[in-house]
Amino acid sequence: MVTAPFRVLLAGRIPREGLPVITVMVVDEEVFFRLGLCQVLSQRTDFKVVDCDPTQQQLLEAIEASSPDVVILGSNLQTRSGLSLARDVARCYPHVRVVLMSSDPNDEVLFETIKTAAAACLSKSVRAEVLIETIRRTCRGEYPINESLEARPMVARRVLEQFQELSSLGRPLQEVIAPLTLRETQILNCIAEGNTNKEIANKLEISEQTVKSHVSAILRKLNANDRAHAVALVMRQG
């Protein structure tokens, strides 16, 4: 029996040399759907799958602990809307790609999903091959959700109208610095002290790759050019 709020399922075969491993977190209250999806994804040699039960674990805490590349998120969670969770992930962990899955991905769901900055919106009945390819594409920096607009002209029109409404305000949108997580704050403090990624990893007892991922997230959140720029920005913000 699994007692932990989330568990990691490793692929049964060793990935081919040079093939990057993608950490995928599956979050859904529908137990059979979630476990079935974990089982399918864990068969891929380039996937490391994290099974997360949202009724037992706060999603952001689970992301902090496992550092996934992609989060597969059910949209009809009972305890809290998947759309709301997707917005929180995009704001706090901009380096994490979100793929929202819905039982009924209608126009309204697609429109709201676009506003969360999720990378893709899929039906829960989608073929496994489509989901797997979508996960890989999002990790390459693509946004498959944009292609959904081609078949949904009404949704595309609503998105355009909203952008036009923002533009008509007649003033530039101010830059918003997303809040740093506790771990990112720790890492930024270590950077300010002059530590290298390797030294930070040793100090915080995490992998160097995890440090690199957090540094990338820090730079994106602060809209900083490099590590020194990030420290300077935060110092100016107090």
Q: Could you tell me the sign of the dihedral formed by the alpha carbons of 90, 92, 97, 102, in that order?
A: negative
124: helix, strand or coil: coil
What is the predicted pLDDT for the residue at 196? Answer: 87
pLDDT for 225: 64
Query: Is the whole model's pTM more than 0.85, yes or no?
Result: no
Domain ranges of the chain: 6-150, 182-237
Q: Residue 131 carries which DSSP code?
A: H
Per CATH, the number for 6-150 is: 3.40.50.2300
Q: How many Å apart are CA 78 and CA 58, to the nearest integer?
A: 14
pLDDT at residue 131, rounded to an integer = 94
Q: Is 217 exposed, middle or buried (0-12, 13-18, 19+ CB in 10 A)?
A: buried
CA 24 remoteness from chain centre: 9
Q: What pLDDT is stored for residue 160 in this prediction?
A: 60
Residue among 84, 147, 71, 138 at smallest CA distance from 113: 84
**What CATH code is assigned to 182-237?**
1.10.10.10
Is 6 in contact with 50 (CB distance < 8 Å)? yes
Name 92's Cβ contacts closer than 8 Å, sequence gap at least 6.
Answer: 60, 178, 179, 181
> pLDDT in tens for each of the 238 residues of the chain?
333 455 555 544 455 555 678 999 999 888 888 999 999 999 988 899 999 887 766 778 888 888 899 999 887 655 557 778 888 887 788 788 899 998 887 888 787 787 777 888 898 899 999 999 999 998 887 888 877 766 677 776 676 666 555 445 443 333 434 567 778 888 888 888 788 889 999 999 888 888 888 887 777 777 666 676 676 666 655 4
Q: How far is CA 139 from CA 15, 22, 119, 130, 193, in A?
A: 17, 8, 10, 14, 32
Alpha-carbon span 147 to 128, nearest angstrom: 19
